[in-house]
Amino acid sequence: MNGPLKKTFAEFFAGIGLMRIGLERAGWSIAFANDIDEDKWEMYRTHFGNTGEFAVGDIHKLDVNNIPDVALATASFPCNDLSLAGARKGLAGEQSSAFWGFVNVLTELGSRRPPMVLLENVAGFLTSNNGDDFRDALLALNRLGYAVDAFSVDAVRFVPQSRQRLFVVATKSKIISALNETPKFYESDCRPPALADFILWNPEINWQIRRLPSLPESKLNLRDILQDLSPNSQMWWSRVRADYLLGQMSPKHRASADAMIKSERMSYGTVFRRVRNGKSMAELRTDGIAGCLRTPRGGSGRQILFAAGKGRFAVRLLTPRECARLMGADDFVIRASLNQALFGFGDAVCVPVIEWIANNYLNPVWNSEFAPQLPITNPIKVTSYGLSSKR
């Protein structure tokens, strides 16, 4: 590497750049970005401008000589083959196998390999192929000289959207892990029992588990992110189409909808269409939290707003701006079509989640272990459960 590293990052599978926004809010600077999707690149440059750091193309074909030295590499690689909604082909699937393209990039960087890596994917990554995919991914990072940590965060802690995601932080380390004997030792806000069990039962992985603070509790409600659209807006569905949606609800969901309609106050819920027993059904959520934003493939991924009260109801899709707010990117510049925007935000990360991870994990590790310009007089205590607490 040429000289001391700065607090810069390379964003792989960058999408529309929400990882970038979260990291920049925590003091990091973008040096390189890559994604294969031209539509997402269009949204990216609309917001950030065409400043030259973005390389459009297949990660398998990247020339690492064009990737600058960075302190952190991030990878929100495709979840299609890892999610319950997909075919569960795992890291061997056509989309999620792009992870190995990222590993190849790290391998080819050699001595220029960044000291820190951040992975993000769906919760199903943990159980894909009975855990073998997650294990293989972590061991691949171990072979490149990284010790690994894993935790999960639900965006509902920051925004009114249910969006559970699994994160891995990998740091260059020569420490060989020693694990505690009970899974309870690893359980926390960010490490539910299934993840704690995985850590305990995979001692061959070189772990470096760090303590994280409790997650915040958000007070935001779905109502808080809604745009105030005119009743005459073309976004609202016709009465025929709205009635049809109501007719797709099961008796349980229909009863909830009817209660909302009869109420003396306006309230809001979200609806997804799902196939149940071979039949398309409309499932209504009424707790003030939106379901997880998804890409609108096949029509089922479009999240529908159900507004009701005072004997009336109205139905429409969530707007791009509402999707941006649900991802914590309230001020994102949007000039894309509805479908393009839904794809962009549905595949993205939640900005305040990334900011929280950066402030509570990445920044302390960077400052204590890798920052070249600061003499560390009081290094943070890295509570590596079962490991040395000081480096």
- pLDDT tens-digit readout, 28-37: 999 999 999 9
Higher pLDDT, 336 or 385: 336
- The answer to whether position 61 is within a domain reads yes
CA-to-CA dists, residue 71 to 15, 300, 305, 381, 389, angstroms: 20, 39, 41, 21, 23
Q: Are residues 298 and 262 in the same domain?
A: yes
Q: Are residues 20 and 155 in the same domain?
A: yes
Q: Are residues 62 and 21 in the same domain?
A: yes
Express each pLDDT in 115-163 by its tens digit: 999 999 999 899 988 889 999 999 999 999 999 999 999 999 999 999 9
Q: Are residues 126 and 193 in the same domain?
A: yes
16-25, 209-218, 323-332: segment of lowest average pLDDT:
209-218
Q: What pLDDT is attached to residue 77? A: 81
Beta bridge partners of 150: 168
Q: Are residues 204 and 297 in the same domain?
A: no
Q: Are residues 98 and 79 in the same domain?
A: yes
Domain count, the chain: 2
Give me the CATH number covering residue 199.
3.40.50.150
Which range marks the domain in which residue 178 is found? Answer: 8-217+349-370
pLDDT band for position 390 (50/70/90)? very low
Q: Are residues 309 and 202 in the same domain?
A: no
Q: CB-based contacts of 95: which residues, under 8 Å, 6+ apart?
A: 78, 79, 80, 81
Half-sphere exposure of 313 (CA within 13 A, CB side): 25
- The answer to whether position 47 is within a domain reads yes
pLDDT band for position 389 (50/70/90)? very low
Q: Of 318, 339, 359, which one is at a domain's C-terminal end?
A: 318
Long-range own/partner contacts, residues 219-222 (CB < 8 A, 24 or more apart): 220/159, 220/160, 221/160, 221/288, 221/289, 222/160, 222/268, 222/269, 222/270, 222/288, 222/289, 222/290
- The answer to whether position 388 is within a domain reads no
**What does the buried/exposed string (b/e) look like for 221-232 if buried means 16 or more CB atoms within 10 Å of the residue's CB?**
ebeebbeebeee
Q: Are residues 232 and 364 in the same domain?
A: no
- Asked whether the predicted pLDDT for residue 198 surpasses 70, the reply is yes
Both tokens of 371, joined, read 């920052």
pLDDT band for position 263 (50/70/90)? very high
- Asked whether the predicted pLDDT for residue 3 surpasses 80, the reply is no
Q: Are residues 195 and 278 in the same domain?
A: no
Quote the distance between the C-alpha of residue 201 and its chain's center: 26
Return the CA Rg of the chain: 22
pTM of the full structure: 0.90
- The answer to whether position 236 is within a domain reads yes
Q: Are residues 188 and 297 in the same domain?
A: no
Q: Are 309 and 265 in contact (CB under 8 A)?
A: yes
CA-to-CA dists, residue 252 to 84, 258, 272, 282, 368, angstroms: 24, 10, 15, 11, 54
Q: Are residues 70 and 166 in the same domain?
A: yes
Q: Are residues 140 and 31 in the same domain?
A: yes
- The answer to whether position 112 is within a domain reads yes
- The answer to whether position 343 is within a domain reads no
Both tokens of 168, joined, read 């891995």
- The answer to whether position 384 is within a domain reads no
